[in-house]
């Protein structure tokens, strides 16, 4: 007696191979039979005419924000994501001195009974480690401080982290020099961890930033992932062809480098990261510095000529703490409300929100997004956590995976469906060493999506980011149905996945 039989679905197994019609038998959370199944089951799902794939793996997420605050992870489940890789961009709950997971050695004990809507593996953030050891100071670490950072990193990977992430536009990662990152990345490589990087620049000096990252990979030997790869602002569009070529070159040398991408032409980050130079962020003084007229003048002067300022009218505020009246408005609208210049409105929002204002920046082009998606080593991601408030957010949080299929497979025919599914499943499973995930294969975990290929569609946009995707019929995680007939049922069958010497389980 099986637990579930999925009957007559078009199986796309995640390897890149063409689909085939088959039944899938599930028992005790595992796929145990694929083929023509003539047995009884507690539940039979008629998948005739529907596509059955492995559950999607979000290769770059911030879903560790869900662990203790929104463990249902509804927005992930409702777009077919069965596993997320969190702790990205240099920031993690793990090793954060202000969090339950401050001591990496406690990771397994604290999370062993934690029930999540979707599975989660996590990086440890370089910025988090740096802040724990030396605060937000704009300087190089001492020898002892660097050793302390290396110790925390090693302990974190041994406790279950998949590697180290960096966020080199964010405080305090912005203060780190390449030598520091090389030394830490060597520890990452020694422990079998992965190095993922939100690089130092994604616009005017994108190529130089990629050169820095790849030099760190060469010096350390770590497997590398360029996070949410893009090129911002019109005069930089097309540069991704060069950087993807650089990825090809380093892989031909024998290294192992990948990237991920979300299928949108707007990025999303903090206003501080965009508009406050690093020397004015040190010691968490950004807000105080903006209140100082002389320093503010210097900050405005430093922004002159930057592409961010030239295109500030493309900036859509999504979340301004304590001032929801600005949420969902462009900076050019807010500047009129405030009766100030656009740059002053942007800086005032940082002050009003006490350094907690985020925005979408419409700075990319679809041709570049398509170019990155088509690369054989590119994975799909949301670059998002889960919803923790009623504030607007980037639609990628809700709809990255359905949009990638709808736009770049069905409409543009940029990528064949089996190849897109590979980018969403077996490729990230391989990169992050997720065992028994990413393929429809006997003995593998029963993490599955069932959808109507012709109807699968993203409905979330920048005006209505909360809209749920359509055409996703069933999502199964660990052998339990969590989305049934397109309705999320609040079952929490996911868990925290921890790395050991044999992989991530």
| Average pLDDT score over residue span 27-34 | 98
Mean pLDDT along residues 337-342 = 96
273 and 166 belong to one structural domain = no
Are the C-beta atoms of 160 and 101 separated by less than 8 Å? no
Answer yes or no: is pLDDT of 188 > 90.
Answer: yes
Please give the share of the chain, as a percent, with pLDDT higher than 70: 99
Q: Is the same domain home to 354 and 399?
A: no
Q: Starting at the earlier edge strand, list the strands of the sheet with 257-261.
A: 124-125, 163-167, 194-198, 223-226, 257-261, 378-380
Look-up of token digits 């593996």: 121
CB of 84 within 8 A of CB of 406? Answer: no
Model confidence pLDDT, tens digit, residues 411-458: 999 999 999 999 999 999 999 999 999 999 999 999 999 999 999 999
Going by C-alpha positions, the residue among 216, 214, 223, 281 that lies closest to residue 250 is 214
Task: Give residue-wise pLDDT tens across range 217-239.
Answer: 999 999 999 999 999 999 999 99
* Whether residue 74 is found in the same domain as residue 197: yes
Q: What are the tens digits of pLDDT across the range 306-331? A: 766 777 778 999 999 999 999 999 99
Q: What pLDDT score does 266 carry? A: 96
Contact call for residues 377 and 259 (beta carbons, < 8 A)? yes
How sure is the predictor about 2, in pLDDT bands with cuts at 50, 70 and 90? Answer: very high
DSSP code per residue over 70-121: -TT-HHHHTTTEEEEEES-TT--STT-TTSTTSSGGGHHHHHTT--BSSEEE
The pLDDT assigned to 52 comes to 99
Q: Please give the residue range of the domain that contains residue 184.
A: 54-265+364-491
Residues 448, 401 share a domain: yes
Nearest 5°: phi and psi at 96?
A: -85, 120
**pLDDT score, position 60:** 99
Same domain, 319 and 392: no
The whole-number pLDDT of residue 390 equals 77
What is the average pLDDT across 372-399? 94
Q: 103 in a domain, yes or no?
A: yes
My answer on whether 183 and 197 are in the same domain is yes
pLDDT tier for residue 213 given thresholds of 50, 70 and 90: very high
- Shared-domain flag, residues 205 and 150: yes
Both 404 and 357 in a single domain?
no
Give the phi and the psi of residue 119 in degrees, each rounded to 5: -70, 155
Q: In the listed set 362, 386, 405, which residue is the last one of a domain according to the structure?
A: 362
Same domain for 347 and 437, yes or no, is no
Does 16 reside within a domain? Answer: no
Q: Is the peptide bond before 489 cis (omega within 30 degrees of 0)?
A: no
Look at the chain and report how many structural domains it folds into: 2
- Residue that the structure tokens 């050793």 belong to: 147
Determine, yes or no, domain membership for 184: yes
What DSSP line would sit under 229-294, residue for residue?
----SGGGTTHHHHHHHHHHHHHHTT--EEEEE-S-SEEEEEHHHHHS-GGGTGGG-HHHHHHSHH
Of 109-113, 140-144, 309-313, 402-406, which gets the smallest average pLDDT? Answer: 309-313
pLDDT at 395: 96
Q: Which of the listed residues 333, 362, 391 is the one where a domain comes to its end?
A: 362
Query: Are the beta carbons of 477 and 493 closer than 8 angstroms?
Result: yes
Tokens at residue 483, please? Answer: 């989305």
Q: Does one domain contain both 67 and 212? A: yes
For the segment 269-274, the average pLDDT, to the nearest whole number, is 94
pLDDT (0 to 100) of residue 111: 94
Q: Are 123 and 238 contained in the same domain?
A: yes
- Please give the mean pLDDT across all residues of the chain: 96
Residues 357 and 466 in one domain: no
Last residue of some domain: 316, 342, 362? 362
pLDDT at 65: 87
Confidence at 365, pLDDT banded by 50, 70, 90: very high
Paired with 23 in beta bridges are 35
Q: CA 281 → CA 170, 216, 441, 468, distances in Å?
A: 9, 25, 50, 37
CATH number for the domain that contains residue 186: 3.20.20.140
């Amino acid at each position: 007696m099986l637990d579930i039989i999925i009957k007559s679905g078009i199986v796309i197994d995640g390897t890149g191979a063409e689909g085939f019609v088959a039944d899938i038998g599930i028992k005790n959370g595992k796929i145990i039979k694929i083929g023509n199944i003539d047995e009884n089951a507690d539940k039979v799902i008629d998948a005739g005419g529907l596509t059955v794939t492995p559950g999607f793996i979000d290769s770059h997420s911030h879903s560790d924000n869900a662990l203790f605050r929104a463990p249902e992870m509804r927005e992930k489940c409702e777009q077919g994501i069965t596993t997320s890789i969190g702790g990205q961009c240099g920031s993690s709950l793990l090793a954060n001195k202000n969090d339950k997971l401050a001591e990496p050695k406690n990771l397994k004990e604290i999370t062993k009974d934690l029930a999540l809507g979707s599975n989660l593996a996590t990086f440890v953030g370089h910025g988090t480690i740096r802040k724990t050891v030396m605060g937000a100071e704009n300087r190089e670490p001492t020898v002892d401080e660097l050793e302390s950072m290396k110790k925390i990193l090693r302990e974190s990977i041994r406790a279950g982290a998949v590697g180290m992430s960096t966020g080199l536009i964010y405080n305090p990662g912005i203060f780190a020099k390449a030598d520091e990152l090389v030394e830490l990345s060597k520890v990452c490589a020694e422990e079998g961890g992965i190095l993922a990087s939100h690089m130092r620049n994604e616009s005017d000096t994108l190529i130089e930033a990629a050169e820095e990252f790849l030099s760190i990979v060469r010096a350390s030997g770590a497997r590398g992932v360029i996070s949410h790869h893009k090129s911002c602002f019109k005069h930089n569009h097309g540069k991704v062809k060069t950087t993807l070529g650089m990825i090809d070159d380093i892989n031909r040398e024998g290294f192992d480098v990948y990237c991920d991408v979300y299928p949108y032409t707007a990025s999303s980050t903090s206003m501080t990261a965009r508009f406050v130079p690093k020397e004015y962020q040190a010691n968490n003084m950004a807000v105080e510095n903006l209140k100082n007229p002389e320093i503010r003048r210097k900050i405005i002067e430093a922004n002159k000529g930057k592409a961010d300022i030239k295109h500030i009218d493309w900036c859509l505020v999504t979340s301004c703490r304590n001032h929801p009246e600005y949420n969902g408005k462009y900076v050019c609208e807010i500047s009129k409300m405030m009766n100030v210049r656009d740059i002053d409105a942007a800086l005032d929002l940082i002050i009003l929100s006490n350094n907690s204002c985020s925005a979408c920046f419409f700075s990319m082009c679809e041709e570049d997004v398509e170019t990155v998606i088509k690369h054989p080593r590119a994975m799909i991601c949301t670059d998002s956590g889960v919803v923790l408030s009623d504030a607007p957010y980037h639609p990628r949080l809700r709809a990255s995976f359905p949009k990638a299929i709808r736009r770049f497979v069905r409409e543009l025919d940029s990528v064949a469906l089996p190849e897109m599914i590979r980018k969403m499943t077996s490729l990230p499973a391989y990169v992050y060493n997720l065992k028994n995930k990413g393929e429809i294969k006997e003995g593998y975990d029963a993490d599955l999506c069932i959808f109507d290929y012709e109807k699968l569609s993203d409905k979330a946009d920048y005006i209505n980011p909360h809209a749920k995707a359509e055409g996703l019929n069933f999502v199964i995680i660990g052998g339990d149905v969590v989305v049934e007939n397109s309705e999320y049922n609040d079952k929490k069958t996911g868990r925290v996945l921890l790395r050991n010497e044999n992989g991530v389980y």
